[in-house]
Amino acid sequence: MSSAKPSLPRVLTGITTTGSPHLGNYAGAIRPAIAASRSGNADSFYFLADLHGLIKCPDPARIQRSTLEIAACWLAAGLDPERVTFYRQSDIPEIPQLCWYLTCVTSKGLLNRAHAYKAANDRNREAGLDLDADVTAGLYMYPVLMAADILAFSANRVPVGLDQVQHLEIARDVAQRFNHLYGEVLTLPQVQIDEQVGTLPGLDGRKMSKSYDNTIPLFTERRQLQRLIMSIVTDSRQPGEPKDTDGSALFQLYQAFATPQETAAFAQAFADGIGWGDAKQQLFEMLDRMLSPMRERYEALMADPAGIEKVLEAGAEKARAVCVPLVKAVREAVGIRSLVGAQAGGAQAASGAATGARGARPVLKQYREKDGLFYFKLQVGDAEPLLQSLGFADPKACGACIGSLKADPQGWAAQQAYLQPVPADRQPAVVAALQQLAEG
């Protein structure tokens, strides 16, 4: 029932669509993501998370404008829509549809522990308000929508910052729960954290962040770029006095974008006592050389919204070719199906597992429980499991036991040490179901 898996690892990256990108965003997320997309080592998916943007931004004009700016930014920075799948989240109706199916298997307790929801509760508690004051269902359900973003495309790896790791863990938990109930339909994603990506300092030396109002916008015009760089906070050492590179926001910004040779020369200039004004001018000239070609592309893209719209529409078509079969498999798994054959299915369910060979096929499902152990069960349709294993610490051992059962249905009793007791009246049905599995 599961969808076809990609031949290359599938890597999925969500792009926030609120606010304008700055140098810190470029160094920490955009540049490494685009470099990875050119490697040819992955099937790369990049999406504009405009549905998520609605949680934080109630301004329709800003949502639209930010989506345009962010799309133009990534394209100007070198993202090639011919090499990757680049789409807008809201253009994929299967994502909110899958979100509902996942919602139906997601425990409230899991969402109660989500960081964003807990942080909102904490703020309200400190303010003496009701814990859920101003907490929308969108904020509460954010982790499930994120899970749908990932699971809809059978993503193998999802690059995230440390603050997003919990959301990936929730996505895995939800997928495991779904697979436990309905069979192995969903691919469990792996978290990918780039330890090499650092945090750029802003104009005041703190982390570059809009919340600190200390950013350098990525595509600000040339004169404004120079003005901002000249405002970077430095110490009081005069020209001729050696200067430390450690802890210098100016040096860190230069190092993030310069070549190793340029960085070594800049470090030597610090040791030789370069004046702060000259150092800032060198930083400006290096950044302007790097940004000018991208700035020109960005301005051309912003002047052609229809062109960006076409790119996103083409990306949505590629994306839906992947996720439509997956969501169809999910619908089938949960029972949202054509009514043709429903009567036969009902009769089989009523007659129990013994008639499984004439209706639903038997399945051996391997899964992991909250105790950390691996289990499997033999089941036909919605009937009570014919076989239920004990827990395995090693998933390979669990899989080997499943393989033995399939290979030798008549000898299933040899595996009883790994199974819960099977009543005598159920044993013929066990053999029949295993035989059907062995015959394919």
Q: Binding site: what residues are annotated?
A: 16-18, 24-25, 149, 161-163, 200, 207-211
Amino acid found at 421: P
**Residue 439 CA to chain centroid, in angstroms?**
39
Q: Is 112 exposed, middle or buried (0-12, 13-18, 19+ CB in 10 A)?
A: exposed
Annotated binding site for ATP: 16-18, 24-25, 161-163, 200, 207-211
Check residue 40 and report its DSSP letter. Answer: S
Structure tokens at 231: 């405002």
Rg of the chain on CA atoms, in Å: 28
Q: Is 52 exposed, middle or buried (0-12, 13-18, 19+ CB in 10 A)?
A: buried
- Cα dist from 334 to 1, 178, 419, whole Å: 11, 9, 27
> E strands of 144-300, at which residues?
157-159, 190-192
Say if residues 411 and 391 touch (Cβ distance below 8 Å): no
The angle subtended at Cα 370 by Cα 369 and Cα 371, nearest 5°, is 90
- The SS3 of residue 41 is coil
276-302 helix and 305-334 helix, angle to the nearest 10 degrees: 70
Annotated binding site for L-tryptophan: 149
Check residue 4 and report its DSSP letter. Answer: P
Say if residues 374 and 395 touch (Cβ distance below 8 Å): yes
Q: In whole angstroms, what is the distance from residue 182 CA to residue 178 CA?
A: 6
Q: In whole angstroms, what is the distance from residue 155 CA to residue 161 CA?
A: 17
Q: Is the backbone of residue 276 left (phi > 0), alpha (psi -120 to 50) or beta? A: alpha
H helices within 303-394, ranges in order?
305-334, 342-351
Q: Are strands 374-380 and 387-388 parallel, antiparallel or unpaired?
A: antiparallel
Q: Residue length, the chain?
A: 440
Structure tokens at 213: 């109002």
Strand partners, 281: none
